[in-house]
A and B are shown apart, each in its own frame.
Chain A
Amino acid sequence: MTTGHDTAAAAPSKEGGAAPGRPPGDPAAADKERRRRARLSRRWQRDVRWSPYAFVSPFFLLFVAFGLFPLIYTGWASLHKVELTAPTDMDWVGLRNYTRIFDDEFFWNAAQNTLTIGIISTVPQLLMAMGLAHILNYKLRASTFYRVAMLAPYATSIAAASLVFVLLFGRDYGMINWALGLVGVDNIDWQNETWASQVAVSTIVIWRWTGYNALIYLAAMQAIPQDLYESAALDGANRWQQFFHVTLPSLRPTILFTCVVSTIGASQLFGEPLLFDANKGASGGSQHQFQTLGLYLYEQGWVNQHLGRASAIAWTMFLILILIGIVNYVISRRLRASS
C-alpha cells in the first residue's frame, strides 16, 4: 500500500527538479520553499527506500498466489478425500492417500519407469550436449546456423514432437524400424515392449533438449578465461588434457545446474508418454510399460477422479526431488572440498 503511494510521487518530484532555478523571494516564501523542499526530499527518500519493494512485489504476489499457495494446498489436499466431481468437498483422511498409493503396484511401476526413463534420457543428453558445446566452442564456419538448427527442436511443442515420433517409431512402417531393417535388425515393437518403449520416449526428450543444454554449456565455456588454457598449454597439456583439467572443472556449477533442471524435467514427464500411447490413454501403454509418475498422477486425478490421491502423488514427487536436491548439494560440496 505504502509502496503504491510512494511510486505515485513521480509527478511532484518534477517540480523539485525545477525548483533550484527559481529566484529567491521574500523570507516567508523562502521558508515555504524550504518546507516544500524538505517535504519533497522526504518523499524522495521514501521513494528510494520503498520502490525496490514495489518493483519486486508483483512477482512475489503472483508467485504466492499461483506457486506457493498451491504447493502448500496440495499438501493439505493430500490429507483429504477429494473427488474431481466436487473439488471443494474435502473429508479428512490423514495419511490414507499415501498408504493407498504406496500399496499400489502401479505407483512403484511408475516410479521405476520415471527413474529409468529419467536416466536414459538425461545422461546421454547431457553428455552429447557437452560434446556439442565443445565443438561449437571452436572457430567454426556458419556457427550461428548450427546453433539455431540445434535449437529448432526446442521450438517444437511436445504435442507435435511426440506425434511425429509415434510415426517414426511405428512397428510396421516406421522409418526407424525400416532403417534398422537395412542393417538386419528385426522389427522392434517400440510401443509395446518395455525397454523399447522407454527408449523411444527418452528419444523424444533427448531430441528436444540436447541443443538447448549444449547452448548452456557453450555459454559457460565461453566465460572461461582464455589464459587458463594458455597456461595449461604452456605446461604441456594437449587438447584432451585441457578439456579435462580446465574446461570440466570450470563448468562444474553449470553441470550441476543442468543436472538439477533435467532431473526436475524428467520427474515431471507427462506429454511425451501420454501422446506416445497407441491406446490414447493415461496408462502409459497397455502394460503400463512407460507410465511415468506424471502420467500416474493424471490417471489418479483426472481419469479415476481422486484428486486427494493425486495430491499425495504430487507431494511424494516433491519430497523425492528435495531428497535428490540434498544429495546433489552434498555431492557438490564433497567435490569442491576434494579439489
Chain B
Amino acid sequence: MTTTTLTPPDPDRTDQAPARSRRPRSARAGGQLHAGPVAYVVLALFTIGSLFPLVWTAIAASRDNNRLAQTPPPFWFGANLFDNLELAWTDANLGEAFLNTTIVAGISAATIVFLSTIAGFAFAKLRFKGRNAMMLIVIGTMMVPPQLSVIPLYMMVAKLDWTDQLQAVIFPSLVSAFGVFFMRQYLIQALPDEIIEAARMDGASSWRVVWHVVFPAARPAMAVLGMLMFVQTWNDFLWPFLVLTQTGNPTVQVAVAGLGRGYTPDQSLIMAGALLGTLPLLLVFAIFGKQIVGGIMQGAVKG
C-alpha cells in the first residue's frame, strides 16, 4: 500500500534535481574567458602525446616483426593486423583471460557499487554515533598502500588453496574507500533530505528508503562508479600477477604481460596482445568518456 504511494513521485524528482544541481556550469560560464590560439596548440600537443602510444600500438600490431626492427619505425598500418591479433588471441589464451577478467571486474564493480552506495548514503544523510570518526577512517584507508597487505593475503590464499583461482582476485577487491567517499559526495547534493523524511513519514523502513529513494537518486553516480571500478579492476596488475600464474586462470593483464616474457619475443605479437587487452576499455571510454570524466571530476571535489 505504502509502496504505491511512495514510489511513483520519487524517480521523477530525484532524477531531475541532481542532474541540474550537480554541474554548476552556469555559475562559472559567466565570466569565463575564451582560450587563445596558444592554448589550442598546447592542447593539441598533449592530445597527440596521449593518443600516439595507443595509435602506435595498433600500427606495430599491424606489421610483421622484421619491419619493427628497422629505422625509421613504421608510421602507418601494415597488412598483418588480423593475423597478429588472431595469433595473440590463441597464443596467450586471451579468450579465457577475457572471460576471467570480465567475471572478476564485473563482480568487483557490482559489489563495490552496492556497498559504496549504502555506506555513502549512511555517511551523507543519516545521523549516528561515530559517523565522523568512521568517515575519517574511510578517508584514511585511501592513503594506505594496498601493497602492504599483499603478503598476508598471499598466505591466506595459499592456506585456502585458492592460488590460480579467480576468487583469490575477487575477494580482496570487493571494497573501495574511494567508492564510499564518491557516493557520499554525490548523495549529499543529489538527495534532498525532504524526500527521505517524506518516505520516513510514510513509515518506510531504512531498507525501503534505500531501495526506493536512494538507489533511483544515485543511479547516475552508480553507473559512473561502476565504470571507474570496472576499469580499475580490469587493469589491476600486481595482485593478479602474484596469485594467478599464466597457466592457471590468468586475467588479461597477466596474460598480456606474459606475452612479453618469451625468450625471443615477437614484438608485433606482443603489441597485438597489448592492443587486445586495452581495446575493450578504450571502447568503453569512447562511448562513455564524458560520463567518466564527469565522474572523476565529481569525486575529486572534496567537501
Chain A residues proximal to chain B, CB less than 8 Å = 7, 9-10, 13-14, 16-18, 44, 47-49, 51-56, 58-60, 62-63, 66-67, 69-71, 73-74, 77, 82, 87-88, 128, 131-132, 135-140, 144-161, 163-168, 172-175, 178, 181, 207, 210-212, 215-216, 218-220, 222-223, 226, 229-230, 239, 253-254, 257, 260-261, 264, 267-268, 270-271, 274-275, 280, 294, 297-298, 301-302, 307, 310-311, 314-315, 317-318, 321, 325
CA–CA, A13 to B1, complex, Å?
11
Chain A's closest residue to B159 (CB) is: A88
With A51-B206, A207-B53 already in contact, the answer to whether A159 and B148 are too (CB < 8 A) is no
One of B7-15, B77-85, B197-205, B215-223 at the interface? B197-205
Chain B's closest residue to A144 (CB) is: B290
**Nearest-CB distance from A255 to chain B (Å)?**
12
Is B107 on the interface with A (CB-CB < 8 A)? no
Q: Contacts A13-B205, A321-B145 known; list 10 others, CB within 8 Å.
A: A53-B122, A62-B115, A63-B177, A88-B158, A132-B46, A146-B47, A156-B281, A164-B53, A165-B53, A268-B238
Please name all residues of chain A whose beta carbon is closer than 8 Å to the beta carbon of B30 when the two chains form the complex. 226
Is B60 on the interface with A (CB-CB < 8 A)? yes
> Is B119 a contact partner of A55 (Cβ separation < 8 A)?
yes
CA–CA, A79 to B151, complex, Å?
13
With A55-B210, A219-B297 already in contact, the answer to whether A167 and B60 are too (CB < 8 A) is yes
Interface-centre pick from B29, B49, B148, B259 (highest chain A CB count, 10 A): B148
Chain A's closest residue to B286 (CB) is: A148
Please name all residues of chain A whose beta carbon is closer than 8 Å to the beta carbon of B148 when the two chains form the complex. 70-71, 74, 314-315, 317-318
> Is A155 a contact partner of B284 (Cβ separation < 8 A)?
yes
The one of A147, A150, A161 that contacts B53, using a Cβ cutoff of 8 Å? A161
With A147-B293, A301-B151 already in contact, the answer to whether A139 and B34 are too (CB < 8 A) is yes
> Is A219 a contact partner of B298 (Cβ separation < 8 A)?
yes
**Nearest-CB distance from A100 to chain B (Å)?**
16
Can you report 16 A-B residue pairs in the complex whose CB atoms are below 8 A from each other? A17-B203, A18-B1, A55-B122, A56-B118, A63-B175, A148-B290, A150-B47, A157-B253, A157-B256, A161-B53, A174-B73, A175-B56, A215-B296, A215-B300, A275-B257, A302-B242
User: Which secondary structure dominates chain B's binding surface?
Assistant: helix
Please name all residues of chain A whose beta carbon is closer than 8 Å to the beta carbon of B284 when the two chains form the complex. 155
> Is A149 a contact partner of B53 (Cβ separation < 8 A)?
no
CA–CA, A160 to B123, complex, Å?
38
> Is B231 a contact partner of A155 (Cβ separation < 8 A)?
yes
**Nearest-CB distance from B206 to chain A (Å)?**
3
Please name all residues of chain B whose beta carbon is closer than 8 Å to the beta carbon of A294 when the two chains form the complex. 147, 238
Please name all residues of chain B whose beta carbon is closer than 8 Å to the beta carbon of A207 when the two chains form the complex. 49-50, 53
CA–CA, A325 to B27, complex, Å?
35
**Nearest-CB distance from B187 to chain A (Å)?**
12
CA–CA, A212 to B285, complex, Å?
13
> Is A159 a contact partner of B203 (Cβ separation < 8 A)?
no
Is B93 on the interface with A (CB-CB < 8 A)? no
Chain A's closest residue to B214 (CB) is: A55
Is B106 on the interface with A (CB-CB < 8 A)? no
CA–CA, A211 to B293, complex, Å?
10
CB interface residues, B 271-303, toward A, < 8 Å: 271, 273-275, 277-278, 281-282, 284-286, 289-290, 292-293, 296-298, 300-302
User: Which secondary structure dominates chain A's binding surface?
Assistant: helix
Closest 7 CB pairs between A and B? A70-B149, A148-B289, A51-B206, A17-B203, A219-B297, A138-B35, A160-B274
Please name all residues of chain A whose beta carbon is closer than 8 Å to the beta carbon of B115 when the two chains form the complex. 58-59, 62
> Is B143 a contact partner of A167 (Cβ separation < 8 A)?
no
Contact with A along B132-157 (1 / 0, CB 8 A): 00100110011111111111111110
**Nearest-CB distance from B61 to chain A (Å)?**
10
With A139-B32, A163-B260, A222-B24 already in contact, the answer to whether A149 and B158 are too (CB < 8 A) is no
The one of B46, B145, B298 that contacts A318, using a Cβ cutoff of 8 Å? B145
Contact with A along B76-103 (1 / 0, CB 8 A): 0000000000000000000000000000
CA–CA, A111 to B282, complex, Å?
35
The one of A69, A210, A216, A268 that contacts B297, using a Cβ cutoff of 8 Å? A216
Chain B's closest residue to A225 (CB) is: B27
Is B70 on the interface with A (CB-CB < 8 A)? yes
> Is A144 a contact partner of B175 (Cβ separation < 8 A)?
no
> Is B47 a contact partner of A149 (Cβ separation < 8 A)?
yes
Is B261 on the interface with A (CB-CB < 8 A)? yes
With A52-B126, A216-B296 already in contact, the answer to whether A17 and B278 are too (CB < 8 A) is no
Chain A's closest residue to B48 (CB) is: A149
CA–CA, A64 to B182, complex, Å?
20
With A174-B73, A318-B145 already in contact, the answer to whether A139 and B271 are too (CB < 8 A) is no
**Nearest-CB distance from B63 to chain A (Å)?**
11
CA–CA, A264 to B144, complex, Å?
8
CA–CA, A109 to B42, complex, Å?
37
